[in-house]
Chain A
Amino acid sequence: MGVLARFLCLAIAWTLQPPRIAQGAEPDIQKVADAPASAILEEGNSAPVPPAAAVDANEDLDIDLGPVSAAARRMLDRVRDSVVQIRGFYGTNRSEAFHGSAFAIAPGGILLTNYHVIARAALFPRDYRLEYYTDDGSVGNVKLLALDVAHDLAVIRAETIAPPALQLRPAMPPKGDRAYAIGYPLNLGLVITEGIANGRLDNEFSPKLHYAGPMNPGMSGGPALDSRGRVYGINVSISTRGQLVSFLVPTEFVAPLLEKAASPLAPDNTRLEIARQLWTHQSAVLAALPGSFPTQTSAGYALPAELAPFVDCTAAAGVPPTRSVLLQNVSCRANVALSVEPGLVTGDFQFSHQVLVANGLSALQFAKQLHRVAAAAAPIAGSAQHVSPFTCKGGTVNLNHFKSEVTLCARSYRMYEGLYDVAMVVTSLNQPQQGFVSTMTLHGVDYAAAMDVSRRFLGAMRWTR
Chain B
Amino acid sequence: MDTVILIDVLDSHGKIISRQRLPLTFPGPQLVIGRDVACDIVLNDPYAAAKHAALSLHEDGTLRIADLHTVNGLILQGERLHPVQPVALPDGFVQVGHSHLRMRSAAELLMPERQDLESLRSRHREYGVSLAGGLLCAGFAGYAAWVGSPDNKPIAVATNLVLGTLVLAPWFAFWVLLGRAVRSRWQWSANAAITLGAAAALLWLKWATDVMVFATGVSLVAKFGEGLAVVVAGVTIYLHVRTASRLRKQRAATIACVIPLIGTVSYLWFMNQRYAEDVNHITPPSEIFPPSWSQQPGMRLDKFFDEGLDLRDVADQQRAEMRLRETEEPGEPK
Contacts and interface: CB of A to CB of B under 8 A. Distances in A.
Interface in A365-388: 365-368, 370-372, 374-375, 378-385, 387-388
Given A392-B282, A410-B315, A420-B315, A455 B301 contact: yes
Interface string B134-176: 0000000000001111110000000000000000000000000
A181 B313 CA distance: 49
A384 B279 contact: yes
A365 B146 contact: yes
B308 A451 contact: yes
A253 interface: no
B285 A427 contact: yes
Interface stretch (B26-34, B40-48, B84-92, B316-324): B316-324
B217 A391 contact: no
Contact of A409 (B149, B292, B309, B311): B311
A403 B282 contact: no
A117 interface: no
A387 B279 contact: yes
A427 B288 contact: yes
Contacts of A379: 282
A366 B292 CA distance: 13
A78 interface: no
Given A322-B151, A414-B323, A420-B315, A124 B334 contact: yes
Interface stretch (A39-47, A229-237, A428-436): A428-436
B78 interface: no
A439 to B, nearest CB: 9
B103 to A, nearest CB: 66
Nearest to A432: B290
B305 interface: yes
B118 interface: no
Given A395-B217, A397-B299, A371 B283 contact: no
A385 B333 contact: yes
B157 to A, nearest CB: 15
A447 interface: yes
Interface in A391-425: 391-399, 403, 405-414, 417, 420, 423, 425
A367 B290 contact: yes
A370 B288 contact: yes
A393 B308 contact: yes
Q: Which among A126, A412, A454 has the greatest number of chain B C-beta atoms within 10 A?
A: A412
Interface residues of B, number: 52
Given A364-B290, A368-B147, A389 B275 contact: yes
B292 A396 contact: no
Given A322-B151, A398-B300, A412-B319, A391 B280 contact: no
B307 interface: yes
A432 B293 CA distance: 10
A374 B288 contact: yes
User: Is chain A's interface secondary structure helix, strand, loop, or mixed overall?
Assistant: mixed
A127 interface: yes
B181 interface: no
Contact of A367 (B281, B288, B300): B288
A363 B300 contact: no
Contacts of B204: none
Contacts of A414: 319, 322-323, 326, 333
Interface residues of A, number: 65
Nearest to A382: B279
B264 interface: no
A407 B299 contact: no
A384 B275 CA distance: 11
B276 interface: yes
A396 B297 CA distance: 8
Contact of A429 (B149, B150, B294): B294
B116 interface: no
B267 interface: no
A379 B280 CA distance: 9
A459 B279 CA distance: 28
Contact of B147 (A364, A385, A393, A399): A364
Given A391-B318, A409-B311, A432 B291 contact: yes
A103 to B, nearest CB: 30
A451 B151 contact: no
A458 interface: yes
A441 B119 CA distance: 64
B328 interface: no
Contact of A389 (B279, B287, B294, B326): B279
Contacts of B112: none
Interface in B238-258: none
A429 B215 CA distance: 12
A395 B282 contact: no
A323 B308 CA distance: 37
A427 B282 CA distance: 15
Interface in A429-465: 429-432, 447, 451, 454-455, 458-459
A396 B216 CA distance: 10
B316 A412 contact: yes
A43 B49 CA distance: 100
B298 A403 contact: yes
B288 A407 contact: no
27 contacts: A322-B151, A324-B151, A370-B288, A371-B287, A380-B280, A381-B280, A384-B279, A384-B322, A388-B319, A388-B322, A390-B279, A390-B280, A390-B282, A391-B318, A392-B283, A394-B283, A394-B285, A394-B286, A397-B301, A403-B298, A409-B311, A410-B311, A412-B312, A425-B282, A427-B288, A432-B290, A455-B301
Interface of B: 146-151, 217, 275-292, 294, 296-302, 304-305, 307-312, 314-316, 318-319, 321-323, 326, 333-334
Closest 5 CB pairs of A and B: A363-B290, A392-B283, A371-B288, A388-B318, A412-B319
Given A380-B282, A403-B298, A408-B311, 16 more contacts: A322-B151, A363-B290, A364-B290, A365-B146, A368-B147, A380-B280, A388-B321, A389-B277, A392-B311, A393-B307, A396-B294, A399-B301, A429-B288, A451-B308, A455-B305, A459-B301
